[in-house]
Structure 1
Amino acid sequence: FEHWQAVVDFCEAQSYWRLQEYERATNSAQQAYAIFQKFGLTRRLVQCETLLGQIAFANGQIESAATHFAAAQASAGPYELPAVTYRYHIGWARVHRLRGKFEEAYSHYEQALTFIEQQQTKIGAEDYKTAFLNDKIEIYEEFIQFCLDQKRAETREMAFAVFERAKLIVQSAEQTLEWRDGMGRRNERIQAKNQANESELDGQIRQLRRELNRYYTQFHTPEANFATVADATRLNKMIVQCEQQLSELLDTQRHLDLAAANGASITSTNLTTIQADLPPTTLLLEYFVTNEQVTIFCVEHNRFAVYQAPVTVDQLLDLWQLLNFQIGKFHLGAYFRERHQRLLQNSIDEVLGQLYTLLIAPFSELLQDCEQIVVAPHHVLYNLPFHAFFNGEKYLLETHDVVYTQSASFHHVVRQSLANKSLRPGLILGLSDMFIEQAEEEAVAIAEVFPGAELRLGVDATTDLMLHNEYPRAFMHLATHGVFRTDNSLFSALKLADGWLTLQELKDVSCTAPLITLSACDSGRSETLLGDKLIGFYQSFFNAGAQSVVASLWALDDQVAIETMKAFYKAVENGDAVHHALRNAQLQLMSSRRHPYYWAPFMLVGNPDLTISQRGTTDDTL
């Protein structure tokens, strides 16, 4: 009984500590410590000493905190206690930071991160990795800021290295390992899963997905005029209930994945290697967003610099909402656009000008020597069109080639990935849908550029073509309807003839293509969870083996989408790298339609130098 009473006291102490009731927290922790000591429970004693150190530190008692952290470390001794060990290392790091001892603080931060990363590799399911990291990613951010605060060249490089580690650990470790090992391992695993006998759980999941497809189709059908508001509300309620049930079943299914952890260590690419791989005229920008400022790591072939912009997250969110408001005006009809053309142009240029001032101007002197800018966003920056930022005279795309990546390490890995020599002809899907009446026309226009590609229109553009590919294609083009769900991002979906392909289902795609083009509304939008974990369409396709993804940040003008894609694919067919092809198509469109609504929605993420065969077949290598 005493042991369990001590456990309760310890939990109370943690609660009081979080509530900043430090005296009560100390009393409860000391009571628990006395009982744990009586029974000789070493692990519990280490937990108590660590908590007492955290309480003392929070209460400004630095030397007392140091005493407790030292006792925790001594008590741990030879025992392997990773769940506790990283906590007292963090405590020691904070104590040494206040003492002004950089080397000691750095060492303890490093040891804490090592413990976190070792434990993370032992978890198989992505959901559980996210839960595990939930209270730990702030340690990375604290470590980054600590390095930046030293204001020395070597500590700025340390900050960059820690940031790369933070991005890698919260993004899919599985994705990076597969890039380095090729797609074979993933294909074997998913094919084995597909060949296994369907369990009762699999059948329930399949049934719920069929129901959801039916509900989604009803909800998004233009002619579905609901008799009453109650009818629409009822359908929405059924969708939510069905999604909740499906999430619960998928969570049950993922319990089995816990045993599938590969245990492989996660390592980011070092700065020297990243720089060596960058062309002399390329500038890579990695943004680090905190509540009060944005830090910009500027990486070039022969130079590394760090700039800071005094802008808050709230300011950035306000500008993003203003940008969406300006883009949204184009849904008011052609007459409104023509009548207010100049006002619309000036209004959006003002917003894009503010973004340029905040996020590009701090390092504007570096732009003179570069031709290509690679943007690695962070936090709220993922959904911003950097290529459309305005300097008062020109958009950034007019002066520079602009591409996007998830991190500097990812950019290096995806550029180094080897081409698959066994590629089938390209796949072009054109959905027949009243929301996007010209999708089939767009697909046919692209097929004229690549007559060797497989063209599927209307009822033939099915989800099976995506889910059951045995071999990767040279490219895939999806002219379809997309919905990005801000309320439940994992149920964001692309519509195909026989149903909706959600982000959940894209995890089961075994083979896609080096180049994916998502000519669908909002296909480039994403949500960040847990520091910088990306949830979005292009992230899912990278997980499935894509090297470059072209996606859109907002709803497309159908006719403009056709023009852009025709120009893009003609350049690709001519042998241009995808970044040249997309930029030239956008500049061509800009000459007749200056407003960014028309030319700026498309963005290129991934390998900018990718080329595909002239006929979309395996006759030429990538």
Structure 2
Amino acid sequence: MATGDLDFQASSRELYDLLLKPAAAQLVGKTNLIIVPDGPLWDLPFQALQDGKGKYLIEQAAVSYAPSLTALREMRKKAMARKPSPDTELLAFGNPIVGNETRTRVQRVFMSEKLEPIPEAERLVNELGKMYGPKRSKVFTGADAREEVAKTESPKYRIVQFATHGILNNVSPMYSHLVFAQNDKNPNEDGLLEAWELKDLDLKADMVILSACDTARGKISNGEGMIGMTWASFIAGAPTTVATQWKVESSSTTDLMLEFHRGLLSKPRISKAEALRRASLKLMKMPKYRHPSYWAGFVLVGDGS
């Protein structure tokens, strides 16, 4: 499905019958589903499973994920304890200029990573800046999208969006990282915000959005779910993380994220999970984005309210 395979429907329906059909009676009328995956099911986009009539699960209900019931309870406690910060609503980073030293460090371990510019990410965060307005948001792109800025500014905002390259380290998930511009005058920062560094930030955010490749993936740990960028975001203090299950196409990401934020700002208020659902459905109705590879890779982990 992630590769755009046109023959995904048979597998999608087979998995629906195996995993969801036994609970079909209990799912009738439910508009919000929380899924606690186990093992390899973390890699499965439940929202894109199809019933016998060809309807995707996300057409029936908003879908969110939780590492465990214990973690979900803690995430909800954090969400309830949050106080609104209307003047510091959104912080967004996009399309950083990747320095040669940073590029070399990454390619030494991940030889296939080219870290090409991502102009769509820059368009995304600039559009978000306009959407939220200059008084309620701050946007950093290009050479200004530096690692140390992310560390110092992120604790001040309600929503933090990273539209940068994300690299999954399968061997050591806490060394998975987001790629930023590097400040040559600061030898302590290498332009790579690793998961272990993210978890040490004192975030006050309601939500962290990782609109980069493979940010929802990591190492599976009993009782804690997936260990990686999403887990690091939760430990840092964010009760909700939106991340990706596979390498996402940049133009569809921009369109989906803009729709998602419009949902977050809509009146009357809707839940974060419902905002993501509506954004996914909007893309699904566009002929060029109909395939689940464009919209099903985004998952909401944690408190979806």
Choose from 84, 109, 129 the match for 1:447.
Answer: 129
Assess, with a 3 A threshold, how the Cα gap between structure 1 residues 530 and 360 changes in structure 2: closer, same or farther. Answer: closer
Q: Give the superposition deviation at 1:373.
A: 0.9
Q: Give the superposition deviation at 1:471.
A: 4.4
CA contact (8 A) 2:174 2:229 kept: no
How many angstroms apart in 1 are the aligned matches of 2:167 and 2:204?
20
Corresponding residue for 2:283? Answer: 589
User: Which residue identity lines up with residue 270 of structure 2 in the other structure?
Assistant: D
User: Which residue identity lines up with residue 506 of structure 1 in the other structure?
Assistant: L
CA contact (8 A) 1:428 1:455 kept: yes
Choose from 128, 142, 146 the match for 1:458.
Answer: 142
Q: Give the superposition deviation at 1:516.
A: 0.9
2:177 is aligned with 1:514 = no
Q: Trace 1:209-608 onto structure 2 (pairs within 5 A).
A: 326-328=1-3, 330=4, 344-345=5-6, 347-392=7-52, 393-416=54-77, 417-421=80-84, 424-432=88-96, 434-451=116-133, 452-469=136-153, 471-498=155-182, 499-529=191-221, 532=224, 534-574=226-266, 575-592=269-286, 593-608=289-304
Aligned-partner SS, 2:290: coil
Corresponding residue for 2:102? Answer: none
Q: Give the superposition deviation at 1:468.
A: 2.7
Aligned-partner SS, 1:438: helix
Q: Please give the root-mean-square deviation of Cα atoms over the aligned residues, in Å.
A: 1.9
Assess, with a 3 A threshold, how the Cα gap between structure 1 residues 572 and 532 changes in structure 2: closer, same or farther. Answer: closer
How many angstroms apart in 2 are the aligned matches of 1:524 and 1:556?
12
How many angstroms apart in 2 are the aligned matches of 1:525 and 1:572?
25
Per residue, is there more strand in 1 or in 2? 2
Computing the radius of gyration from Cα coordinates, the structure with the larger value is: 1
Note the alpha carbon deviations across 1:196-239, whole angstroms, 9 max, x for none.
Answer: xxxxxxxxxxxxxxxxxxxxxxxxxxxxxxxxxxxxxxxxxxxx
TM-score, normalised relative to structure 1: 0.41
Give percent identity, aligned residues only.
29
How many angstroms apart in 1 are the aligned matches of 2:299 and 2:291?
16
CA contact (8 A) 2:206 2:239 kept: yes
How many angstroms apart in 1 are the aligned matches of 2:201 and 2:255?
30
Assess, with a 3 A threshold, how the Cα gap between structure 1 residues 493 and 517 changes in structure 2: closer, same or farther. Answer: same
Note the alpha carbon deviations across 1:362-412, whole angstroms, 9 max, x for none.
Answer: 211111132211101122211211111111311100111111112223333
CA contact (8 A) 1:522 1:555 kept: yes
Q: Gaps spanning 5+ residues in structure 1: where? A: 1-325, 331-343, 610-622
User: Which residue identity lines up with residue 61 of structure 2 in the other structure?
Assistant: H
Q: Give the superposition deviation at 1:465.
A: 2.5
Corresponding residue for 1:210? Answer: none
Assess, with a 3 A threshold, how the Cα gap between structure 1 residues 556 and 351 changes in structure 2: closer, same or farther. Answer: same
Q: Gaps spanning 5+ residues in structure 2: where? A: 98-115, 183-190
Note the alpha carbon deviations across 1:569-597, whole angstroms, 9 max, x for none.
Answer: 11111233211211101001001132110
How many angstroms apart in 2 are the aligned matches of 1:471 and 1:541?
12
Q: Give the superposition deviation at 1:602.
A: 0.7
Aligned-partner SS, 1:551: strand
Q: Give the superposition deviation at 1:542.
A: 0.5
CA contact (8 A) 1:429 1:457 kept: yes
Note the alpha carbon deviations across 1:521-566, whole angstroms, 9 max, x for none.
Answer: 1111122135655311111000011021111111111110111011
User: Which residue identity lines up with residue 556 of structure 1 in the other structure?
Assistant: V
Assess, with a 3 A threshold, how the Cα gap between structure 1 residues 413 and 432 changes in structure 2: closer, same or farther. Answer: closer
Q: Give the superposition deviation at 1:469.
A: 4.2
Q: Give the superposition deviation at 1:421.
A: 4.4
How many angstroms apart in 1 are the aligned matches of 2:120 and 2:84?
34
Q: Give the superposition deviation at 1:445.
A: 1.2
How many angstroms apart in 1 are the aligned matches of 2:73 and 2:199?
23
Count of aligned pairs:
269
TM-score, normalised relative to structure 2: 0.82
Aligned-partner SS, 1:374: strand
Aligned-partner SS, 1:556: coil
How many angstroms apart in 1 are the aligned matches of 2:50 and 2:249?
22
Corresponding residue for 1:240? Answer: none
Q: Give the superposition deviation at 1:470.
A: 8.1
How many angstroms apart in 2 are the aligned matches of 1:438 and 1:358?
38
Per residue, is there more helix in 1 or in 2? 1
Higher relative contact order (CA 8 A, sep 6+): 2
